[in-house]
Amino acid sequence: MEQRDSDATAPPALGVGMVGYAFMGAAHSQGWRNVSRVFDLPLRPVLAAIAGRDAGAVSAAAQRHGWAAAETDWRALIARDDVQLVDICTPGDSHAEIAIAALEAGKHVLCEKPLANSVAEAEAMATAAEAARARGQVAMVGFNYRRVPALSYARRLIAEGRLGTLRHVRVSYLQDWLVDPDFPLTWRLEREHAGSGALGDLGAHIVDLAQYLAGEPVVGVSAQTETFVRERPRLAAASAGLAAPSGQAATGAPRGPVTVDDAAVFTGRLASGALAAFEASRMASGRKNQLRLEINGERGSLAFDLERLNELSFHDHREPAATAGFRRILVTEAEHPYLEAWWPPGHTLGYEHTFTHQARDLVVAIGAGTDPSPSFDDGLRVQRVLAAVEESARKNAVYTPVQEVP
């Protein structure tokens, strides 16, 4: 990998302002920090300022992650002249307000997934993005797994017709951090902050991946959701991450209601008639962050496992039966998506590279004046599937159509 120093020929700066600095803030910071050292870009992202409510914590985060300034009010961050792009890494309850304000202030926006906590919010965001588009601004949702090179490559193979007509899409995303009934009541377990539970957090990723890879929308779902542990110990102070802050919640602490799902299981139909099966859970003991998928078409199949993210399994069903079968493609060649900028073949990438790739794609779209993908409309499409899942689950798995996004 070639390292580039800034010099007189460097591309013009693109000031980035980030709101939030927990897990996703750290991951996005890493992407912004190194993207112009890896990829040739039309603009050079500059880490201008980061915002968070706690003055001490946000200053520490700015220093740790390389941001030039810290603000304690996101409105002040949006108002800064050195910020042209606002990156939203906060819980879902503030996405709509911040994104709409940033777009109205003339800034480009990157917003973490899920786009919002409700369809109404997501619709308002998509409308604001559409108006901003006419002014030359872009808005993108952070579905980072699209940027795993093996999954970008899978999309390419499917679009080229290597799988033929699709019949099945099977995706599951499993974690286990809620197995302990004494894991505390963090914001991720409160509907007012998170919108939903495993469904919005993990289900949003797999619905987006299914629609992205298949190149078509989910048009209806039948779902079951469950909250297995309905009360958990309250926290003494707010927490941002997945891990329980040490010493803050004990078995004896007063308990409060969990208002989101622990798991969601649903089937769906794609527009072409392909059948899809989805599972999202935070209760799958032993599974830390396992995202697996398999897609079967009349000409072949693809399979992927995030725990082996440099690999894609491909079966070509037109090969003679005696020698056909799934074979492993190591997705580290220069011809594979994003790989031309990284290491020689066989030198693998990881989770964090998806955030560099996301930053790259967004900056390229801004430079070219094109629509980035996934757009806020794509985010709205996912949000409508999530809403249909919740409605279907309330009706004990009655098939529920998903409202189309034109």
CB half-sphere exposure, 93, CA atoms < 13 A: 10
Among the listed residues 289, 348, 373, 403, the single contact to ligand SOE using CB under 6 A = 289
Sign of the CA dihedral with 268 first, then 384, 304, and 176 last: negative
Which of 206, 267, 260 minimizes the C-alpha distance to 398?
267
For residue 343, state whether it binds ligand SOE (rule: CB under 6 A): no
For residue 201, state whether it binds ligand SOE (rule: CB under 6 A): yes
CB-based contacts of 400-403 (< 8 A; 24+ apart in sequence): 400/220, 400/221, 400/222, 400/223, 401/219, 401/220, 402/217, 402/218, 402/219, 402/220, 402/221, 403/119
Neighbours of 264 (CB within 10 A): 27
Among the listed residues 242, 277, 330, 341, the single contact to ligand SOE using CB under 6 A = 242
Closest CB to ligand SOE among residues 200, 233 = 200
For residue 307, state whether it binds ligand SOE (rule: CB under 6 A): no
Kindly identify the residues of this chain, within the stretch 132-161, that bind ligand SOE according to CB under 6 A. none
For residue 352, state whether it binds ligand SOE (rule: CB under 6 A): no
User: Closest approach of Cβ 289 to ligand SOE, in Å?
Assistant: 6
For the chain, the 3-state helix, strand and coil shares in percent, each to the nearest 5, are 35, 25, 40
Closest CB to ligand SOE among residues 93, 201 = 201
For residue 243, state whether it binds ligand SOE (rule: CB under 6 A): no
Closest CB to ligand SOE among residues 77, 189 = 189
For residue 30, state whether it binds ligand SOE (rule: CB under 6 A): no
Closest CB to ligand SOE among residues 196, 310 = 196
Kindly identify the residues of this chain, within the stretch 161-190, that bind ligand SOE according to CB under 6 A. 175
AA identity, residue 293 = L
For residue 259, state whether it binds ligand SOE (rule: CB under 6 A): no
Backbone angles phi, psi at 243, to 5 degrees: -75, 150
Neighbours of 281 (CB within 10 A): 27
Binding site for ligand SOE (CB under 6 A): 23, 175, 201, 242, 289
